[in-house]
Structure 1
Amino acid sequence: MKIQKLTIIIPAFNESEILVNSVHRLLAIEDQVAEQHADMLGMRADIVIVDDGSTDQTWSLVEKLHKENPRVRGLQFSRNFGHQAALLAGLQEAVKTADFLVTIDADLQDDPEKILDMVSMAMDGDEIVYGVRNNRESDTWFKRTTAQGYYWTLHVLGVELVPNHADFRLMSKRAVNTLLSYPERNFFIRGIIPKLGFKTGEVDYKRTPRLAGESKYPLKKMLSFAWEGITSLTIAPVRLILCLGVLACFLSIGMVIYAIVMKILGLTDHGWSSLMVSLWFVSGIQMISLGVIGEYIGKVINEVKGRPRYTIQTIIE
């Protein structure tokens, strides 16, 4: 498969400490790709940086990098819309001219050298190439355990997801256009891409520590992202509530039979503790159920409103 143009998309939020080094490294990798595939005449490569409402000097650095090298382009959000929105905005802009698009985080903890392998696999016919971590030795025990639990939970709920894959991937123009045709606002990219159905491949890599700056995914944000993925891709939690309701009905029938038997035997001395425990337990289940259902109703409201996923303030072509 011939590639006329390759674009690397970088979502960035307060990445001023590392952005310049990352961009220079990616430009060098693009040069390596062009050199390895010199037979593909006319191949071009550039980088699109999406500033997700940064409050530091990230956008100033994007402007400076563009002046130094026109291959660096930029989009600036009017405020912080989130990592997924930044990825979508970058894809929306880059797919206008690129044949293949690579997304990678600005910290380059995902091995950018694997882009060379991704391009080779794309030339062989793969339209989506996932970057997959081959180990989690660099993670803490807590993060490693919760990540495994998350993938297991999604699998049980029937969600098709590539384990140990974040947002480091290569996609063809056709795959990106198909992804962008999905109209929903509650967009969980990692879960939707496997549903596209195109030929896929994987490259393994070992994640490296950040060279500078702080992680933009603390525990609170990771939990929110995990819940967003579950509620965006499956209604299994609502079905679980139905199952709990049915189970509660059967238990209540059992308790009625138990009460009748106790009445007949004359053993009807009920304690205050058991009554309170039952009330708190049932009330807790009701509140959780209402919360889960409310979450889905809220998502439906957002879809009906049809608000834009993001607002672009500035574009550097």
Structure 2
Amino acid sequence: MFLSLFGAVESGVIYALMALGVYLTFRVLDFPDLTVDGSFVTGAAVAGISIMHGVPPILSTLFAAIAGFIAGCVTGVLHTKGNINALLSGILMMTALYSINLRILGQPTLSMLGESTLFTQLQSLWKGTGLDSFMNNMLALIGLEQMPATWAIVVAMTVVTLLIKLVTDYYLKTEVGLALRAIGDNKRMIRSLSANTDSLTIMGVGLSNGLVALSGGFIAQHGGFADVNMGIGMIVIGLASVIIGEALFGTKTVARATLAVILGAIIYRIIVILALRVDFLETGDMKVITAVIVIGALVAPKLIQARKEKKRRLAKRHQLGRQVKEVS
């Protein structure tokens, strides 16, 4: 059970980058971008094929983010310059990316087993310092089981994700970032202030897909393979993470909202792991589980709010009744 939960946290921290990208389009820009399903695979494909051709893993990961950024910018251009509906722009780009990703990979599935990736280098570095053995010995002394071999990945990815979160928070508070947020709230108003909404939208969608592709690059290196179909349903997973995080932790400030998205991604993975432990559910039921989680996250807050309002109305009625009795 512990190892399953640990694995959920490990993958959740990596998928949190994808959830942050989804947050930028759906919440900040109010742009229903379906490019995510394609750009996630683009990041995985570019990172995988670059590593297979001897490019250092850190540069391969950077190339993955750049490729996703370009894909997002194309979606933004289709919408702003081509006057194509936002939803349709994402669908068109997602469809095109399937063929592009297949071209990049050269085959439906690319295996990176035996190749040096960021995570294999990280684990080798950590074991070389001796800290891995030291930490396990300390845990044994206090009666706790040893940590999994990949716990260094969790620590490193947590640091990376939090750094990107802080950069995102800072960016959204800059002049350009405030303009991006204004586009999502009232596009006509920000346009009346002579802001170039087209360029800002293209930039925002590009940054969003850059984060999504970065997550895809990390996932490919983490799993040891890149598959042309690995992005199917990513947009739903990203939305589930955003909705769960917002429902549980709130969105009063930008910093709180981005932290909620990260925690939402981790909680989503934990919920999926726990759901799969139910006897009658199988791995093939992942999509159904995801749909149920999203529905629950959307409906539950409204039901809770309706219940609170009903209690308030009943309390007011009782109070008015008491006042009438006192007057009479």
* TM-score calculated relative to the size of structure 2: 0.29
Could you say which structure has the greater relative contact order, defined with CA pairs below 8 angstroms and 6 or more residues apart? 2
* TM-score calculated relative to the size of structure 1: 0.30
| Larger gyration radius, structure 1 or structure 2 | 1
Higher helix proportion: 2
Higher strand proportion: 1
